[in-house]
């Protein structure tokens, strides 16, 4: 048996998230089906982070244990020949059996893209939220968001149905910037609650549209006013950018940001 790590990119538009489910197409299910074809036995996969239905990943990290003669660095080519074009393995490497895609993570990075233009753009529609009603004030959004950095209880930004023991996590950094009509919201944290990023973005948009103040935004999460947090951003604008480890196990792509830059080149 050997442990193999994968760097995975997928367009989540037509998938019900990462995790295997009954009667729904998921990325994990298709990946495990492909591994079964290769090895002729059931292979369980473990991801750095679970993505919900419609959420994308530009640098998801997955590992599995397998008894197969294929060298660790060849799984990317073999799996890409089986998987649909919406799922691509960027790199595969053999790792120590103590290394874990989820538990060895130092922090995870999500990015949310808002297309803040009066006019739609079909080329980025599946990867962004077209919020066109008002010009968003990204400076006010950034000022409100910065207060969340550090270790806090984010109960207000956790959707119902979570099985976490508590809602405490550490946000390392939040960065919000505008590139012409695109607003990029980058959040790096040790862990994310169920639905956390989309709920945060939904509230930050209210701040950007001057519908609530930054003080109200802060009061809602600091005082756990979950019932006041009703707006959630759509899934399609969210992307799991990557997971960061103490040691970079992937050598071919040595970059902490795998987000598809073609989305923002035309706006720079």
Task: Cite the active site residues.
Answer: 52
* DSSP conformation letters of 164-184: -S--EEEEEEEEEEEETTEEE
Tokens of 90: 């960027």
Cβ neighbors of 103 (< 8 A, separation 6 or more) are: none
Q: What are phi and psi of 88, to 5 degrees?
A: -125, 135
**Which string of b and e fits 73-92 if b means at least 16 CB within 10 Å?**
eebbebbeeebeeebebbbb
The residue count of the chain comes to 268
How many Å apart are CA 268 and CA 256, to the nearest integer? 20
Alpha-carbon torsion 24, 124, 197, 56, what sign? Answer: positive
Q: How far is Cα of residue 238 from the mean position of the Cα atoms in its chain?
A: 6
Cβ neighbors of 18 (< 8 A, separation 6 or more) are: 26, 27, 28, 47, 49, 50, 51, 57, 60
Contact status, residue 24 vs residue 103, Cβ threshold 8 Å: no
């Amino acid at each position: 048996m050997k442990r193999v790590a994968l760097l995975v990119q997928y367009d989540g538009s037509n998938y019900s998230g990462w995790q295997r489910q009954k009667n729904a197409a998921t990325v994990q299910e298709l990946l495990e089906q492909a591994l079964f074809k290769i090895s002729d036995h059931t292979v369980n996969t473990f991801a750095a982070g679970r993505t919900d239905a419609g959420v994308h990943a530009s640098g998801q990290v997955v590992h599995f244990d397998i008894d197969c003669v294929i060298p660790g660095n060849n799984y990317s080519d073999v799996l890409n020949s089986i998987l649909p074009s919406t799922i691509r393995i960027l790199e595969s490497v053999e790792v120590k059996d103590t290394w874990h895609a989820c538990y060895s993570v130092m922090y995870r990075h999500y990015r949310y893209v808002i297309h803040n233009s009066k006019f739609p753009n079909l080329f980025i529609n599946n990867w962004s939220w077209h919020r066109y009603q008002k010009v968003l004030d990204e400076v006010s959004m950034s000022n409100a968001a910065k207060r969340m950095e550090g270790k806090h209880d984010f109960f207000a930004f956790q959707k119902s149905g979570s099985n976490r023991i508590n809602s405490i996590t550490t946000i390392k950094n939040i960065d919000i910037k505008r590139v012409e009509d695109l607003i990029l919201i980058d959040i790096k944290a040790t862990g994310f609650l169920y639905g956390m990023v989309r709920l945060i973005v939904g509230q930050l948009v209210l701040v950007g549209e001057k519908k609530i103040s930054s003080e109200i935004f802060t009061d809602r999460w600091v005082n756990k006013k979950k019932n006041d947090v009703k707006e959630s951003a759509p899934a399609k604008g969210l992307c799991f950018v990557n997971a960061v480890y103490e040691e970079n196990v992937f050598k071919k792509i040595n970059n902490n940001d795998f987000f598809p830059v073609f989305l923002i080149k035309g706006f720079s």
